[in-house]
Structure 1
Amino acid sequence: MNIELRHARIVTVIDQVGSISKAASELSVPQSSLTAQLKRIEDAVGGRLFVRSSSGVVPTSLGERLIPMLTELVQRADMVVVEAAAHATKVFRFGNSEWTPPSLHSALQSSLPRTEVQTETLSPSAAVDAVRRGWLSAALVPCMSLVEPGDRGEPALDTAVIAREPVWLAVPQGHPLSAEPALEACHLASLNWVRYAQDHWFHPIEKLLFTRFPRTKPEVLHYADGHHEAMNWVRDANAAALTTPTGATSDVSLVPISGTESTEMVMVWRSGSFGRATLARLVETVRSYYCAYARTIPRYWAWMKDNPADFPELLRYLRTA
C-alpha cells in the first residue's frame, strides 16, 4: 500500500485530538473503519504510530519521527488547494475588525489592479481563524496576542506590525478635559464610563488601564460591544471611554493619556501564500492607508508627527508627510 494524502490526514487528525474515537467523529467515519485504516497505514510504514491507553493515544518513537512529516504533507496540500482556488477566482479577500471604511477597499484594489478585492468586517479572532482556513487572504487585526499558534496540522501564519496605536480618552465635544494636552490617571476616576464587554478584544487592555485609577471605583453606565457603540454613548450620554484613536468617531474629542498602553495593529496571512514582492506591496499599502486615515484625526496625526519614535513602522511616512 502506498501512503496517500488521505492517510496523512487520518494520522494528523488522530494526533491532534489524541483519541481514535474523537478522530472518527472529526472525520465522520465509523470508529471501526478508522481503526482498520490506521492498521493498514501502520502496516505500510512498518510499525505502530500510536500506543493506546485509557486516556487516548500517544505517538510511538516511530510516530514521533513520521507524524511531523505527515502533518507537513497535509499543510502543504492545503496550501496548494488555497493557492489554486485563489488563482482560479482571482479574488483577494481582506478582513478587518470593528468596521471597514470604503477607503481601505479602494487602497487594496489599487495595489492589486488585476485582482478582485473583497473586504469583510468581523471580530479579530474570527478573522484570524478565517485566514488560517483560507477563506480570507489576509486580515488586519488589533493585538498580536490574538494570533496564537495553531494546532499541529494547521497552516502556519505570518504577521507584520502595521502600527502601534496608543490608547486615549474619548469624551464629548466641549468637555472640560477635551482641551488638556495630556491626562493623568487621577483625572479619570470621577468620570462616568462606557466600558467594553468581557469578550471584546479591547477589554484586557482597558482592564489594565483601569487598575491604575485611584481606589475610588469609577461609575460604569454601559458595557459596549464595539468602539462605535461606545462612541455613541460618549456623545449622547456625556460619558467617557477608552479607545484607540482610529476607533473613535469624529463627533467626540480625543485626549492623550500619560503613560498609556498601546496595541499593535497586525496584518496576518498564511505562510507562503504571497510572493515576496506582492507581500511587500500589501504591507506598504496597509501602512500607507493607516497614515492616510490618521490624517483625518488632526490631534492624533499631530501627535504621531511629534512622537515618531512611538511609530517605528511608519517613520518613512511621517518623515515625508
Structure 2
Amino acid sequence: MDVELRHARILTVINRLGSISKAASELNVPQSSLTAQLRRIEKALGGEIFLRSVQGVALTKRGERLLPLLSELVQQADLVIVEAASHASEVFRFGSAEWTPPSLLDALRTSLPAPEVQTETLSPDAAVDAVRRGALTVAMVPGVALDRVRDATELPLEAALIAREPVWLALPQGHPLSATEAVRPADLPALNWVCYARDHWFHSIESKMFARFEPTRPEVLHYADGHHEAMNWVRDARAAALTTPTGATSDVSLVPLCDTVNSEMLVVWRRGSVARATLQRLVDAVRRYYAEYARSIPRYWAWICEHPERFPELGAFLRPAPGL
C-alpha cells in the first residue's frame, strides 16, 4: 500500500488528540475502522508509529521522525486548497456583534484582497454559527460566545485575540463619580442601574461584577437589549451601566473600575477556509482599527497608553498618532 495524503491526515489527527477513539470521533469513522486503517498505514511505513496504552497513544521513535514530515505534508496540501478557494471566492463576508461602523467596512476593503467585502451585524451566537456553516467567512465576536461552544469536538473553528477590553462604568455626564480616577466596587451598589437582558452576551460578564455586590442588591431600572440602548438609559434616566469602553457612546461619562474583569474580543473563522496571508492581513487590519477607534475615546486611549502591557496584541498600533 502506498502512503497517501489522507493517511498523513489520519496520523496527524491521532497525534494531535492523543487518542484513537477521539480521532475516530473527529474523523467521523468507527473506532474499529480507524484502528484497522492505522495498522495498514504503519505497515506501509515500516513499523509502529504509535505506542498504545489505556491513557492513549504516544509516538514511537519512528513516529517522532516521521510525524513532522507528515504534518508538513498536510499543512502544505491545506495551503494549496485554501489558496485556490480564496481566489475562487468573490465575496468576503465579515460578521460583527452589536453594531458595525461603516469605517470598519472601509478598513476591511482597504486591507483584504477579495473583490467584494460585505459586513453583517448579528448576535454573537448567530455569528459563530454562521461561520461554522460557511455563511460568514469571518466574524468578530466576544470570547464568551465561543466559550459556550468551545467544548464541541465537531467545532471546526479557530480564533485570534484582538484585544482584552476592561469593563468600565458608564455614568451620566456631570455625575459626582465621573471625575474620580477609578471607581471602587464599594461605591457601585448605591447607584441605580440599567442592566443587560439575560440572553445578551454581556449579561454573563456583568454578572461576575454584580456578584461582588452581595449581600447588597442594587436597584435595576431596566434590562437593555444592547450597549446603545443601555447608554440611552444612562443619559436620559441618569442610571449607571457596565460596558466595554468601545460599547459606550460619547454622550455619557466613562470611568475605570478598580479590580474589574475583562472581555475578550476575537476574530473567528472556519479552520482551513481562509488563506494564511489573508488571515494575517485581516487580523492586523482589525487590530489597527480597534486602536484607531480607541484613540477616539480620550479617557480610554490615555488609559491604554498608561497600561500598554495589558494590550500586547495591539503592539505597534498603540504608538501615538502624529501631533498627539
Deviations 1:245-291 (A, max 9, x none): 00001110100000100011000011122222111111000000001
Matching residue of 2:67: none
- What is the distance in 2 between the residues matched to 1:224 and 1:283? 31
Q: Is the 8 A contact 1:164 1:310 kept in 2?
A: yes
Deviations 1:201-253 (A, max 9, x none): 11111011011125221000000111111011101101000000000011101
In structure 2, list runs of 5 or more residues that go unmatched.
Answer: 1-23, 38-79
Matching residue of 2:121: 121
The answer as to 2:164 corresponding to 1:164 is yes
Look up the SS of the partner of 2:278 in the other structure.
Answer: helix
Counterparts in 2 of 1:125 and 1:180: CA distance versus 1, 3 Å:
same
Matching residue of 1:298: 298
The answer as to 2:180 corresponding to 1:180 is yes
The answer as to 2:211 corresponding to 1:211 is yes
The 5 A counterparts of 1:256-275 are: 256-275=256-275
The answer as to 2:71 corresponding to 1:62 is no
Cα RMSD over matched residues? 2.6
Q: Report the AA paired with residue 175 of structure 2.
A: H
- What is the distance in 2 between the residues matched to 1:296 and 1:233? 22
Q: Report the AA paired with residue 62 of structure 1.
A: S
Matching residue of 1:280: 280
The 5 A counterparts of 1:1-321 are: 59=30, 61-62=32-33, 87-144=87-144, 146-147=146-147, 148-149=149-150, 151=152, 156-213=156-213, 215-319=215-319, 321=321
- What is the distance in 2 between the residues matched to 1:227 and 1:216? 25
Counterparts in 2 of 1:265 and 1:130: CA distance versus 1, 3 Å:
same
Report the number of matched residues: 253
TM (normalized to structure 1)? 0.73
- What is the distance in 2 between the residues matched to 1:152 and 1:65? 23
Counterparts in 2 of 1:87 and 1:319: CA distance versus 1, 3 Å:
closer
Counterparts in 2 of 1:295 and 1:83: CA distance versus 1, 3 Å:
same
Look up the SS of the partner of 2:265 in the other structure.
Answer: strand
Q: Report the AA paired with residue 109 of structure 1.
A: R
Matching residue of 2:44: none
Alpha-carbon offset, residue 139 of structure 1: 0.6
% identity of equivalent residues? 65
Look up the SS of the partner of 1:216 in the other structure.
Answer: coil
Q: Report the AA paired with residue 288 of structure 1.
A: R
Q: Report the AA paired with residue 101 of structure 2.
A: P
Matching residue of 1:23: none
Alpha-carbon offset, residue 187 of structure 1: 1.0
- What is the distance in 1 between the residues matched to 2:273 and 2:232? 39
Counterparts in 2 of 1:207 and 1:153: CA distance versus 1, 3 Å:
closer
Look up the SS of the partner of 1:305 in the other structure.
Answer: helix
Q: Is the 8 A contact 2:191 2:218 kept in 1?
A: yes
In structure 1, list runs of 5 or more residues that go unmatched.
Answer: 1-48, 50-57, 67-79
Q: Is the 8 A contact 2:196 2:202 kept in 1?
A: yes
Deviations 1:276-315 (A, max 9, x none): 2111111000000001111111000000000111111112
Counterparts in 2 of 1:240 and 1:64: CA distance versus 1, 3 Å:
farther
